[in-house]
Amino acid sequence: MKIYLDTANLEEIREVARWGILSGVTTNPSLMAQEVGADFEDTIRTIAGLVDGPISAETVSEDADGMVAEGIEYSAWHSNVIIKVPSTPAGLEAVSRLGTMGIRTNVTLIFNANQALMAALAGAFVVSPFVGRVDDMSHDGMELIREISSIFEQNPDIRTGILAASIRHPRHIIESALAGAHIATCPYKVLKKAMQHPLTDRGIASFLADWHAREASMAMQP
């Protein structure tokens, strides 16, 4: 399973890109709104320069014509730009029309396996089931990933990727991988947490203490 960052914050992207684990970035209007004063086009172009992989840029139109127009505009910014559209009938139409132009799409706000199947049949490059928001409704977000994975595996004609979104904690990353997601798009804070373990910190402290004690004892020898 690949890891994407779910952010429009350039510093977060720069840092995680240096780790060598980053395969792409997803943005959405809410994440863009957190970057006060940032221009959308500049942000997407800059991200595309930092990460060599798919960068999702989300449309804000509610009709297919508008989504297609936005998709044509955004996809001209960089060849790695993927057009994010909502899981609605208009979104499906936009996926289908953009697909005929060779423009790749990410169908977002997926909350059931039917929505994922329809998006795949319309030709989506990836679908984005929102696992955290499903959990918020007292359902099982990972069961949604498992259902979609099983349906896609039983239909070899489907090449659409499963991009687990609305990842809220490190356990969601592990479970997404086990459930068959191809990608998990993670907030920066969740990725940082996923790399933390007190035994790692304690182990480093203990190794360093032993090393410095050894050096001190060697320095005492004639």
Which residue in the set 133, 169, 192, 193 belongs to the binding site for ligand G3P (CB under 6 A)?
133
Q: Is 84 a catalytic residue?
A: yes
**C-alpha 136, offset from chain centre:** 19
CA angle, corner 80, sides to 98 and 15, nearest 5?
Answer: 140
CA distances to 69, 118, 163 from 88, rounded to whole Å, are 17, 10, 18
Residue type, 154: Q
Question: Which residues, listed in sequence order, are joined to residue 126 by a DSSP beta bridge?
Answer: 106, 161
Which residue in the set 5, 9, 25, 28 belongs to the binding site for ligand G3P (CB under 6 A)?
28
Count of alpha carbons within 13 angstroms of residue 19, beta-carbon side: 14
Question: Nearest distance from residue 127's CB to ligand G3P, in Å?
Answer: 12
CA distance linking residue 136 with residue 187, whole number of Å? 17
Question: Nearest distance from residue 6's CB to ligand G3P, in Å?
Answer: 5
**C-alpha 103, offset from chain centre:** 19
43 versus 185: smaller Cβ distance to ligand G3P: 185
Residue pair 158/148 in contact by the 8 Å Cβ criterion: no
Question: Nearest distance from residue 165's CB to ligand G3P, in Å?
Answer: 3
Is 78 a binding residue for ligand G3P by CB under 6 A? The answer is: no
Please report, as residue ranges, which positions from 149 to 188 form the binding site for ligand G3P (by CB under 6 A): 165-166, 168, 185
Question: Nearest distance from residue 175's CB to ligand G3P, in Å?
Answer: 15
Site string for ligand G3P, 113-132 (x = CB under 6 A): -----------------x-x
Show which residues are catalytic: 84
Residues that bind ligand G3P (CB under 6 A): 6, 26, 28, 130, 132-133, 165-166, 168, 185
